[in-house]
Amino acid sequence: MKGSEVVRMVPDKNGQANEGHSCVKGRFAWGYATHKDRILKPMIRGKITDPWKEVSWDEALDYAAAEFRRIQKKYGRDSIGGIVSSRCTNEEGYLVQKLVRTAFGNNNVDTCARVCHSPTGYGLKQTLGESAGTQTFKSVEHSDVIMVIGANPTDAHPVFASRMKKRLLNGAKLIVIDPRHIDLVRSPHVRADFHLPLKPGTNVAMLSSIAHVIVTEGLLATDFIAQRCEDKAFQQWRDFVALPENSPEAMQEITGVPAELVRGAARLYATGGNAAIYYGLGVTEHAQGSTAVMGIANLAMATGNIGREGVGVNPLRGQNNVQGSCDIGSFPHELPGYRHVSDSTTRHLFEQAWGVEIQPEPGLRIPNMFDAALDGSFMGMYCQGEDIVQSDPNTQHVTAALSAMECIVVQDIFMNETAMYAHVFLPGSSFLEKDGTFTNAERRISRVRKVMPPKAVYADWEVTVLLAQRMGYTMDYAHPSEIMDEIARLTPTFHGVSYEKLDQLGSIQWPCNDEAPLGTPTMHIDHFVRGKGKFIITKYVATDEKVTRKFPLILTTGRILSQYNVGAQTRRTENVQWHQQDILEIHPHDAEERGIRDGGWVGIHSRSGETVLRAKVSERMQPGVVYTTFHFPESGANVITTENSDWATNCPEYKVTAVQVMPVLESSDWQKKYTRFSKVQDDLLKNAGEGTGNKTPDIKIKAVAKSIA
Amino acid sequence: MSIKIFVPGDSAALALGADALAKNILAEAARRNMAVELVRNGSRGMLWLEPLVEVQTARGRVAFGPVSAEDVGALFDANFQNGGKHALNLGLTEELAYLKKQERLTFARVGITDPLSLEDYLAHDGFQGLRKALTMQPAAIVQQVTDSGLRGRGGAAFPTGIKWKTVLNTAAAQKYIVCNADEGDSGTFADRMLMEGDPFVLIEGMTIAALAVGATQGYIYVRSEYPHSITILNEAIAAARKAGYLGPNILNSGNSFELEVRKGAGAYVCGEETSLLESLEGKRGIVRAKPPLPAIAGLFGKPTVINNVISLASVPIILDRGAAFYKDYGMGRSHGTLPFQLAGNIKQGGLIEKAFGVTLRELMYDFGGGSASGRPIKAVQVGGPLGAYLPESQWDTPLDYEAYTALWAVLGHGGIVVHDDSADLAKLARYAMKFCAIESCGKCTPCRIGATRGVEVMDKIIAGQDTEAQVELLRDLCDTMLNGSMCAMGGMTPYPVLSALNHFPRDFVKKIPV
Amino acid sequence: MLEQLNEKDFGTPRRIAEQEVTLEIDGMQVTVAAGTSIMRAAAESGVNVPKLCATDSLEPFGSCRLCLVEIEGRKGYPASCTTQVERGMKVRTQTPKLQALRKGVMELYISDHPLDCLTCAANGNCELQDMAGVTGLREVRYGYEGENHIHSQKDESNPYFTYDPSKCIVCNRCVRACEETQGTYALTISGRGFESRVSPGQDQPFMDSECVSCGACVQACPTATLQEKTVIELGQAEHSVVTTCAY
Amino acid sequence: MNLARHTESIASIISSQQNRPGALLPILHDIQEALGFIPPDSIQQIASALNLSRAEVHGVITFYHHFRTTPPARHTIEICCAEACQSMGAERLVEHAKQRLAGSKHGECEVKPVYCLGLCATSPALMVGEELHARVTPEKFDRLIEQMGIKT
């Protein structure tokens, strides 16, 4: 730092999660925090066709509170809700869900974890008893076999990918289960011992056939199972899995992967020593997302790969605080610590602490909010640090729903896609401007420390407090540490957590309480959180999203290293030099068949919609499968994703969309409409200044990003 | 009854027209419809006589040399095939003093046998050592080599037995035998002559090493500047494998040993053992830090015996005739023989295998016959480009590892380069630095930057610019290189430089008009 | 050296082993885990042996030859980074001979290095600068007209950092960081001897190589060769805060 | 030799060698023997076959003086410049060769130093391709040039 200006950002050698390593985003792409696009003044407008009007914080908050109360009076208590961001801090997420359950008086709060790892929460809770990964990142150093399924770590989790590569370089074996030929399959000094290029949407079939091999070839860790797992559930599971229909041979034409490859991988996983499974959104973002997660837990329990270093079931989370936002109760059906709202003892605990009555029924999930908005029963929303228009599937459906609502309050650091449909815009604060904590995929709570004063006067948690007051519910905290103290008081797995201890230890992995005063690096050591591990039958059910004559290809989506999630931050840094636009990757055979040139424009149609991207002919793909990323709004990647979703958690099925791809000469209708619409919104933003005629005041900050550009 | 004529196939002979000569002999014999059996033997090592043609007669083999293609007609006219009189007739080869006064143990067969004939090799005690080794325990083989007093003939002079013992005692699923045939030293060609003259003895030596330490794979790393050695080695390996002396089941003893030739690519530093291993692994020839020693973690991180061609080629005779026989030669702690290579400005240059103890003067005058130019010999560089220059006062020191170390000189690989009084030792000292700058692997600072600065300092000295300060700077630089470098490249470049400076100071002060 | 900003660098990675080894360094009894380097053992007991190519996030390399020490009963001057501790060793890290050798090495380094400390982006945070101070270098008798890399062309292709070969001391820390820390192998040393230089891809600009711009090499670089553009623009930082990445 | 044919012959060389331990140098040698040099744009092909990075292969090629990445002259004469040959006038031979070939067409014949061909008792020596020549006097050098058909 130099005063309150960032000079450079380097990874901390003592960082227990990264141990002195970073990737291009964290190391360099922090310029967005002082980018000129930052909106620094609250704004309001009556209708989304009116120009924005800059107002004072008081006026904006009063307007928002008044609108919410008006809507509740008109449409009922459940007509408004809130969305928690997985990029904001634990403390901020906690306050938003508290605001909804107290000031709003209902449980209509959800988080974007819905669209990424909600199946993990559900699946691991059912089988192991806790909705979180079982290991530390460091434990990969003790793995002898590493299985990566539905994840592309070198692009989406680069820092952990480097730690994994270090282990692979000195001897660990690698199994990659992914439709694409991702870097881990083969890149300098790294070569997967088994690559199972399955068809998208057939994870459960693959996992069942692996389990089949383990069961029928006598590779079960029988004494581990006898000691640690529920016997009846195991018997049922074992008999189900042993059925010939689950054999690799039977599953071959479903997954498209030769049986002996599957058998080889299964034997390696079962007998190769410490075996760890790492999985990502390629497992969860399916119609059978939760089933696949349970299938993974089954494999770990069946081979005893749980409860020590080097093993485990490890979800690779989509964003920096997805784990945290789930932990602090941002789901409509759960209070902090994964305790169901219907559990009256927990509910009374919170009612007593917060002094309000909490509804016993789960509130609306995000997809339900859209449906309710369209049938006129959900009219108001408070959306903090989230861009559901770009990140949620079936964009037209989302925008239609938002257009039907009467008061959307968006709190973010930039004017994002959702804000184009908003009536109140409250300037947000970046991680450099506030104190708080993030929790990563290994349940590690780490401190976020303020290095510069908030650019727009308030940190995000302060805005939520002020909004609550305006709605008649007082929350008074002098510092986020007090919010964490409240979480700790009310949540058993967080009892021992405090800022003071975090400063002492550097970071803590929950559960952290009297039994585990210093946190829990590895979980389920002697017993499972639910006592005995529970095997659950994972019957393969093909997704409804079928390839047809009209839509013969399958589209799957993912990430690229230089861009992050919806790209709000990274698109405003020099990272665009690596990745300027979302590209559609297609197999040479499929491209040739359709006369598609490398670099040419192609139209992608699905039953939900159509968009146009540049094509890249790539050997990484398998015939019949195309791939793209969703970092740029104008690509409209989510225009074509469908409303299919996981049966248990509504996590959207991003990974499987039947599409047709054809060379085109001009952008899609949606894109034309989108360009016009965003142009209009930009103009409405431009003359938002109260008579001052110019845009948000251009504060002379030595914007570092600017000096580079 | 056909006549057996020997025309060497050794590179030195080829470089002097041996192929054309052989063609002419066959053509002439056919014209005179004489049945002739032509053998392309190795070189006898008397290089001023190459191409040296020999003819098998009742009295023994008669030598003619140096023979050019044009002499063939006259030779046949002089009935040379029966040892007839001719200006080039040198009499019986075995009687030539140059050969007779040598103790040829390692080079016993070189020049005598057809390098690629297995029968010829077997007829001259070939593979006896291996057969004996097959009856012995690995530790016993190592003990024989240790007792023989054999030391590294590449230049380091490290006791071979101890190196093998370390590899034997280091457990590993895979071990390697690596032969260092990089032979980058100027003035040395013993490895080349042996590989081209008696490749089977090297193969036998490496196989015995494999038995001794439990290795199953061997590599011979030959410099790219020796194309003929590579060709001959590959043919010999194929022949040995076909006959069961190599491969999965050596002489159905259940032991397996595979051997492969690998080509260098123009890097003197790859003569250093760890740089050689990096090169074999397909990497830049960067010197590794030691420890770990290659004997414990060598090629691909596995225990590796890495020895010079001559060290390995001397093992068969040790196993065949016993350690005591070999140890009996030599003096002090330098046991056995060393194939000295007399080169440079010398009248009778060549390969002289002698027991340790012979002196430089004996080699240069009794064998070499003084300088080729006829001018007095001024300085002799012993042990390659990293060896010291010896003035006349040191020519009577016996050639023995410890004796030479005492002189701040080295025997190295046995290369002896003679310079007459026209040589300018300041320019040769500059060349030593230049050679180091060209061949430095660039890893460590004293050598990477030091060599280049050394050339610049020598240029100033030669140009007479404040010579005194520059000489003092040169000494400091040599001290930094000597003590700071990671390997002998930078570590020994000061030997030629300081020896030139100390023994021939006059060359460093005279002013030369620039 | 902005000590409080950069934590102490022990030179070689921490080793974990059951047995411990006790040795004597400069008269002090030191006990460390087996497999630890002499350099780290010394650093852990407060003795900072000069170093340039060693850093504790990377395996020891042993190329700069500044960290030579004397060990009783062992000839020559072994590098303390690549030599592991042994029971009963007696090590001297400072002797007149070692001082002379280190100064000799430093004199060579500075004979091929720009003399622009005061205007250099790494001013105040450069290990070469520190080592020149520690070794007591007072003159470079080779002069500066010899062969050098001082006019090498800068590579500013990466938006976030600059590669300036004129300041490179070929310590290989960047190449090793790209291999050991990141695992991309985008860098190598091309050429050999005096013109050895760091080469992304096939002697190309960083942006045309496989570099994923993780910045590990920039952080490992002891001089201003690989330097963040923000530091070039704004100068050295004056305080630091530990926070958590928001990606 | 156009690029397409290069790629084919390189592919066959690679497939015949790539499973040998430490296969990079053997592959580079074979490619240089087949094409006279190692085409820079074949480095990616070699790297991915051996699961190395382009940088690593480039680092190896630039380390060894034998390898070259540009097409060679029609003829290359390597004259030994080490001490033994120096003592018998190698420097004069190099000067003579340079003068003699000054008139030749560019790219016709390149003279390069080499450090030791192992012909140190029959100096000065040189090598043309794999053909060795010893005790090379200026006249012998001139005859060699004529035999090689080099017009000067």
User: What six digits make up the tokens of D47?
Assistant: 């790297």
Q: Which residue has the tokens 């097409």?
A: D71
- Furthest-apart CA pair in chain B: how many Å? 76
Percent of chain A residues past pLDDT 70, beyond the cut:
97
pLDDT attached to residue A636: 84
| 3 state DSSP class of A691 | coil
The partner residues of A145 in beta bridges, in order of sequence, read A173, A275
Nearest to D40 among C187, C202, C209 (CB): C202
* C125 and C56 inside one domain: no
Which one of A18, A28, A316, A574 would you mutate to disrupt binding with C, by most C Cβ within 10 Å of its Cβ? A28
- Ranking A161-175, A568-582, B181-195, C80-94 by mean pLDDT, the lowest is A568-582
Q: Measuring CA to CA, how many Å separate B32 from each of A376, B1, B76, B88, D68?
A: 118, 15, 9, 21, 50
Q: Measuring CA to CA, how many Å separate B455 from each of A87, B425, C103, D19, D91?
A: 61, 14, 20, 43, 18
Residue whose C-alpha is closest to residue B148's, from B413, B335, B354, B402: B335
Cα–Cα distance measured from residue B110 to residue B88, given in angstroms and rounded to the nearest whole number: 22
Q: Contacts of residue A187 in chain D, CB cutoff 8 Å?
A: 51
In a domain, C115, yes or no: yes
pLDDT attached to residue A699: 33
Instruction: Assign A203 a pLDDT band (cuts: 50, 70, 90).
Output: very high
* C143 and C181 inside one domain: yes
CATH number of the domain that C32 lies in? 3.10.20.740
pLDDT attached to residue D7: 87
Instruction: Assign A700 a pLDDT band (cuts: 50, 70, 90).
Output: very low
pLDDT attached to residue A709: 29
The full DSSP string for B368-406 is T-S-SSSSPEEEEEESGGGSPEE-GGGTTSB--HHHHHH
Q: b/e map of C195-234 (b: 16 or more CB within 10 Å)?
A: ebbbbbbbbbebbebbbbbbbbbbbbbbbbbbbbbbbbeb
Residues 6+ apart with CB under 8 A from A204: A288, A291, A292, A295, A538, A539, A540, A541
Q: What is the mean pLDDT of residues D100-127?
A: 92
Q: Contacts of residue A12 in chain C, CB cutoff 8 Å?
A: 242
* C127 and C199 inside one domain: yes
Cα–Cα distance measured from residue A708 to residue A8, given in angstroms and rounded to the nearest whole number: 13
Query: How many domains would you assign to chain C?
Result: 2
CA atoms within 13 A on the CB side of A365: 16
Nearest to D122 among B15, B186, B423 (CB): B15
Which one of D51, D52, D57, D60 would you mutate to disrupt binding with A, by most A Cβ within 10 Å of its Cβ? D51
Touch between chain B and chain A: 3 or more Cβ pairs under 8 Å: no
Q: pLDDT tens digits for B458-510?
A: 999 999 998 999 999 999 999 999 999 999 999 999 999 999 999 999 999 86
Cα–Cα distance measured from residue A190 to residue A177, given in angstroms and rounded to the nearest whole number: 15
In a domain, C12, yes or no: no
Q: pLDDT tens digits for B164-194?
A: 999 999 999 999 999 999 999 999 999 999 9
In a domain, C180, yes or no: yes
Domain boundary among C52, C68, C94: C94
Q: pLDDT tens digits for A103-116?
A: 999 999 999 888 88
In a domain, C168, yes or no: yes
CB A134 within 8 A of CB A314: yes
Nearest chain B Cα to D131, which residue?
A: B15
Nearest to D66 among B266, B281, B344 (CB): B266
Nearest to D58 among C184, C192, C201 (CB): C201
* Chain D contact for C185 (CB, 8 A cutoff): yes
D32/chain A closest Cα distance in angstroms: 24
Instruction: Assign B513 a pLDDT band (cuts: 50, 70, 90).
Output: low
* Chain C contact for B235 (CB, 8 A cutoff): no
* C44 and C129 inside one domain: no
Q: How big is chain C, counted in residues? A: 247
Which one of B52, B176, B186, B427 would you mutate to disrupt binding with D, by most D Cβ within 10 Å of its Cβ? B186
Interface of C with A in 145-184 (CB under 8 A): 159-161, 180-184
Q: Which helix (H) or strand (E) holds A480?
A: helix A480-490
pLDDT attached to residue B512: 52
Q: What is the mean pLDDT of residues A55-80?
A: 95
Cα–Cα distance measured from residue A455 to residue A446, given in angstroms and rounded to the nearest whole number: 23
Nearest to A186 among D51, D53, D56 (CB): D51
Q: pLDDT tens digits for A208-262?
A: 999 999 999 999 999 999 999 999 999 999 999 999 999 999 999 999 999 999 9
* C215 and C178 inside one domain: yes
Q: Contacts of residue B227 in chain D, CB cutoff 8 Å?
A: 130
Q: What is the mean pLDDT of residues C111-132?
A: 96
Q: Which helix (H) or strand (E) holds B491?
A: helix B488-492
Question: Are C209 and D55 an interchain contact pair (Cβ–Cβ within 8 Å)?
Answer: yes
User: Which residue ranges form the domains of chain B, and what is each CATH number?
Assistant: 3-100 (3.40.30.10), 118-327 (3.40.50.11540), 331-420 (3.10.20.600), 425-509 (1.20.1440.230)
Q: Which domain holds residue C74?
A: 23-94
C194/chain D closest Cα distance in angstroms: 12
* C44 and C153 inside one domain: no
Nearest chain B Cα to D50, which residue?
A: B282
* Chain B contact for C27 (CB, 8 A cutoff): no
User: What six digits make up the tokens of A68?
Assistant: 């919410």
Angle in degrees, CA B286, B292, B293, rounded to 5: 85
pLDDT attached to residue A689: 63
Three-class DSSP labels, B98-141 = HHHCCCCCCCCCCCCCCCCCHHHHHHCCCCHHHHHHHCCCHHHH
CATH number of the domain that C116 lies in? 3.30.70.20
| 3 state DSSP class of B473 | helix
Question: Are D55 and C210 an interchain contact pair (Cβ–Cβ within 8 Å)?
Answer: yes
Q: pLDDT tens digits for A385-426?
A: 999 999 898 889 999 999 999 999 999 999 999 999 999 999
* Chain A contact for D51 (CB, 8 A cutoff): yes
Torsion of CA A155, A159, A162, A166, to 10 degrees: -160
Chains that touch C (3 or more CB pairs under 8 A): A, B, D
* C71 and C123 inside one domain: no
Q: pLDDT tens digits for D39-84?
A: 999 999 999 999 999 999 999 999 999 999 999 999 999 999 999 9
Nearest chain C Cα to A156, which residue?
A: C247
A186/chain D closest Cα distance in angstroms: 7
CB A589 within 8 A of CB A641: no
Cα–Cα distance measured from residue A51 to residue A685, given in angstroms and rounded to the nearest whole number: 6
Question: Are C219 and A10 an interchain contact pair (Cβ–Cβ within 8 Å)?
Answer: yes
* Chain C contact for D4 (CB, 8 A cutoff): no
Q: What are phi and psi of A554, to 5 degrees?
A: -110, 130
pLDDT attached to residue D6: 83
User: What six digits make up the tokens of D102?
Assistant: 């000054």
* C63 and C122 inside one domain: no
Q: What are phi and psi of C231, to 5 degrees?
A: -75, -40
In a domain, C56, yes or no: yes
Question: Are B344 and D88 an interchain contact pair (Cβ–Cβ within 8 Å)?
Answer: yes
Q: Identify residues of D whose CB sits under 8 angstroms from chain B CBs.
A: 20-26, 28-29, 50, 56, 59-60, 63-67, 78, 82-88, 114-123, 125, 127, 130, 132-135
* Chain A contact for C16 (CB, 8 A cutoff): no
User: What six digits make up the tokens of B435?
Assistant: 């050679």
- On the question of pLDDT at A690 being above 70, the answer is no
B504/chain C closest Cα distance in angstroms: 24
CB A521 within 8 A of CB A530: no
Which one of B286, B293, B434, B443 would you mutate to disrupt binding with C, by most C Cβ within 10 Å of its Cβ? B443
Cα–Cα distance measured from residue B307 to residue B158, given in angstroms and rounded to the nearest whole number: 10
Residue whose C-alpha is closest to residue A506's, from C7, D83, B175, D45: C7
* C89 and C130 inside one domain: no
* Chain D contact for B409 (CB, 8 A cutoff): no
Q: Measuring CA to CA, how many Å separate B297 from each of A537, B276, B303, C219?
A: 50, 14, 5, 31
Q: Contacts of residue D56 in chain A, CB cutoff 8 Å?
A: 188
CB B403 within 8 A of CB B373: no
Residues 6+ apart with CB under 8 A from C104: B446, B476, B477, B479, B480, B484
* C218 and C192 inside one domain: yes
In a domain, C58, yes or no: yes
CB C28 within 8 A of CB C16: no
- On the question of pLDDT at B425 being above 50, the answer is yes
Question: Are C62 and B444 an interchain contact pair (Cβ–Cβ within 8 Å)?
Answer: yes
In a domain, C9, yes or no: no
Question: Are D59 and C201 an interchain contact pair (Cβ–Cβ within 8 Å)?
Answer: no
Q: pLDDT tens digits for B241-292?
A: 999 999 999 999 999 999 999 999 999 999 999 999 999 999 999 999 988 9
Q: What is the mean pLDDT of residues D31-37?
A: 95
- On the question of pLDDT at A707 being above 80, the answer is no
In a domain, C105, yes or no: no
Nearest chain C Cα to D52, which residue?
A: C185
pLDDT attached to residue B316: 97
* C77 and C185 inside one domain: no
User: Which residue ranges form the domains of chain A, and what is each CATH number?
Assistant: 41-116+321-491 (3.40.50.740), 118-315 (3.40.228.10), 553-665 (2.40.40.20)
Question: Are B448 and C97 an interchain contact pair (Cβ–Cβ within 8 Å)?
Answer: no
* C210 and C122 inside one domain: yes
Handedness of CA D119, D123, D126, D131 (dihedral sign): negative
The full DSSP string for A305-353 is --SSTT-SEEE--SSTTHHHHHHTT-STTEETTTEETT-HHHHHHHHHH
Question: Are A1 and C181 an interchain contact pair (Cβ–Cβ within 8 Å)?
Answer: no
Q: pLDDT tens digits for B244-255?
A: 999 999 999 999
Q: What are the counts of helices (DSSP H) followed by strands (DSSP E) for chain B?
A: 24, 16
Instruction: Assign A705 a pLDDT band (cuts: 50, 70, 90).
Output: very low
Three-class DSSP labels, C8-27 = CCCCCCCCCCCCEEEEEECC
Which one of D54, D60, D65 would you mutate to disrupt binding with C, by most C Cβ within 10 Å of its Cβ? D54
User: Which residue ranges form the domains of chain D, and what is each CATH number?
Assistant: 3-63 (1.10.10), 75-147 (3.40.30.10)
Give A596's DSSP letter.
P
Q: pLDDT tens digits for C22-74?
A: 999 999 999 999 999 999 999 999 999 999 999 999 999 999 999 999 999 99
Q: What is the mean pLDDT of residues A89-101?
A: 95
Q: Contacts of residue A438 in chain C, CB cutoff 8 Å?
A: 244, 246
Q: Contacts of residue C209 in chain D, CB cutoff 8 Å?
A: 54-55
